[in-house]
Structure 1
């Protein structure tokens, strides 16, 4: 158990050290309080959803492990989310997939409506948590061959076009209800396991399908359309229709938000290097902060070099108002609420580290050509007392400090999740 007096004493010493480097800690904390992370719902139930068919995954997705006690219905998922939010400093968002509606019977994805998400909208209002959204283009019989919006079958394409249109209307309703834009992110799994005979034709079909989905202008203060690229997936190892180049061009030409996922590129690529380039040409970015291990395996976000670089790029480029930060991982090998807490707290910790950099000073040294001093300050920053400021931030936000949150998860596991069976239960 952390002692509040020691936390405050350590914080005051840290403030002095940061001030010596020219960093205003209070100003950094003020900016930190405005940072919203969009926490992803699908960590809570291994991307199963609530369509009533058992939620078999497919089309380029896989979950490793089967830690007991996954959420089996919306009420259990909301309970788990509330537990996770209680461990995370700040006020954050929820990223919801279309397959997580409350359907009360068979409803195919081209027929979903606002009414199926009214429970989520009521919950978000009560919790003061804004919603983001995603169409679900996977784990469905009409995606069984790995193609949806780029399918050669016009009937399949139309089904998924109708799904996308329905999702835009849902997202707009969410945004209108919460008073800020609901980010609606489009990712499709379309691609080939082996080398295609035509790379062009599926991309022409995908662009045409997207144009039909986005044909109706919707108020940007209600919803923003985002498009997400990928290098490869399970079953699409040789060719993905929606590549980075495809969606970069699409986002630029259609004025859409571009989504960059940290696991969707070659292992030698990093999205931190793409942020400043992309924002020269697209209005806004959506980030899916994840952790790929040798491939897009969506591991729990850790405090890695790349995570720090992503947040540094956002702060150094003054992009906080143009970058939406969401998380994207699913790991059922550890407790799901703990995974949310670890990943989100790490993302916020990396953002705090970036806000505590002497950005003006190191950028001025670069302009002056003093690259020696620039490197020296960047390296000194790595051993500054970030932990003391982070602990103070958590304490003042009323969430557990250090690893104290783990006991809260253990108690929740003993009292709630361990009592669940593996079978869906309607509440």
Structure 2
């Protein structure tokens, strides 16, 4: 599509949206300020670089053997750069602790900011922010399914120290990059079969978290988040860190509460939780995924739930207090393409929500005119959103529509397939 056609379509679409008082130019300015935290672990199937040969545990499973998985920090960063070149806007990268860039043999509880200096230098060069996660899985000390709630105080201390170290690394990221780092704590702790004592592990988890968060950190540099789960492989009967546990803990202790799209009941959605949680919490962290069969972490598509997440964030002005991260991993397709598809779709959902006549819809609802509410909502589904998206991509200097696919295929031929 030529630049002149893109601009003509954009101007015509703008006029249609303007009839309802929607300022498209302002919407695009606002969209450009939103940072999506793109997860590094899509690029190498959650292997990391510290314990690369360790079996994946914690209910995590990656399927597929598509060629070209990153094997080193430099390869992973190159793949991320390629993906970001095809995604509009400036964003962040979400790191797990196992992605340390170091030749030193170091244990998780001994990690320091210096072990991630390569990531910091790269992020500065690229103008990106960094988020962080302690890695409480795929380790000898997590083999029986428990970490921060482990009955053995020595193992518990190992994970407490790892999480403490992770917070300091996150604070270093925020200080060095001038962008607040969100450090998110998720642990896989739970029982495969029904426990007798549900309280004791949760008491231990609470005490461990209290110790982890004991040292105050500058919130301009680091924000703490806690993440729940319904069940996992090996913890089908009981998860210590349930939604109720972390919602209570996060609200009581002023922590961000992480909602992962795949961590709830199969028919339960996180979009419906945002307006409630926002009334009581200081902020929310999202892990946007696609739970085709519960927590199956498929690449994010522009489906109804993703659109509803965007709507809730926009309609209730929650973008300023919500941190949006992605969490999926698919080794059956090109990994760079997975990043591009998922991130572009997340941005599309936000833009689509910004181009709805929210004020008119709210007024109709307030007046009890549910006919107008439904009619307008449905008619706007076929408004020329695509013309606005095309213009935004062109303005941001990234490929329009499916033009990006050819670049990924070329990168695959020239780089990925040569990794062996």
Query: Do the structures match in fold with TM over 0.5?
Result: yes
Which TM-score bucket, shorter chain as reference? over 0.9
Instruction: Determine if the alignment matches structure 1 residue 7 to structure 2 residue 6.
Output: yes
Quote the offset at 1:55 in angstroms. 4.2
CA distance in 2 between partners of 1:362 and 1:150 (Å): 47
Name the structure 1 match of 2:219. 220
Instruction: Determine if the alignment matches structure 1 residue 413 to structure 2 residue 412.
Output: yes
Alpha-carbon spacing, 1:53–1:303, altered in 2? closer, same or farther (3 Å): closer
Name the structure 2 match of 1:165. 164
**Partner SS state of residue 103, structure 2:** coil
**Partner SS state of residue 125, structure 2:** helix
CA distance in 2 between partners of 1:53 and 1:257 (Å): 30
Quote the offset at 1:52 in angstroms. 4.4
Equivalent residue runs for 1:68-87 within 5 Å = 68-87=67-86
Unaligned runs of 5+ in 2: none
Name the structure 2 match of 1:335. 334
Alpha-carbon spacing, 1:7–1:346, altered in 2? closer, same or farther (3 Å): same
Name the structure 2 match of 1:66. 65
- Give the conservation status (yes or no) of the 8 Å contact 1:49–1:55: no
Quote the offset at 1:180 in angstroms. 2.4
**Partner SS state of residue 96, structure 1:** strand
Q: Which runs of 4+ in 1 moved over 4 A?
A: none
Equivalent residue runs for 1:47-66 within 5 Å = 47-66=46-65
CA distance in 1 between partners of 2:359 and 2:321 (Å): 20
Name the structure 2 match of 1:240. 239
What is the TM-score normalised by the length of structure 2? Answer: 0.99
Instruction: Determine if the alignment matches structure 1 residue 132 to structure 2 residue 147.
Output: no
RMSD (Å), alpha carbons: 0.8
- Give the conservation status (yes or no) of the 8 Å contact 2:132–2:183: yes
Name the structure 2 match of 1:278. 277
Quote the offset at 1:53 in angstroms. 3.6
Equivalent residue runs for 1:139-150 within 5 Å = 139-150=138-149
- Give the conservation status (yes or no) of the 8 Å contact 1:135–1:185: yes
- Give the conservation status (yes or no) of the 8 Å contact 1:47–1:55: no
Greater shift in the superposed pair: 174-183 or 405-414: 174-183
Name the structure 1 match of 2:113. 114
Number of residue pairs matched by the alignment: 420
CA distance in 2 between partners of 1:336 and 1:399 (Å): 19
- Give the conservation status (yes or no) of the 8 Å contact 2:171–2:181: yes
Name the structure 1 match of 2:383. 384
Summarize deviations over 1:66-109 as a string: whole Å, max 9, x none: 11110001000000000000000001011010000023132110
Unaligned runs of 5+ in 1: 422-427
Summarize deviations over 1:253-290 as a string: whole Å, max 9, x none: 10100000000000111000000101111100000000
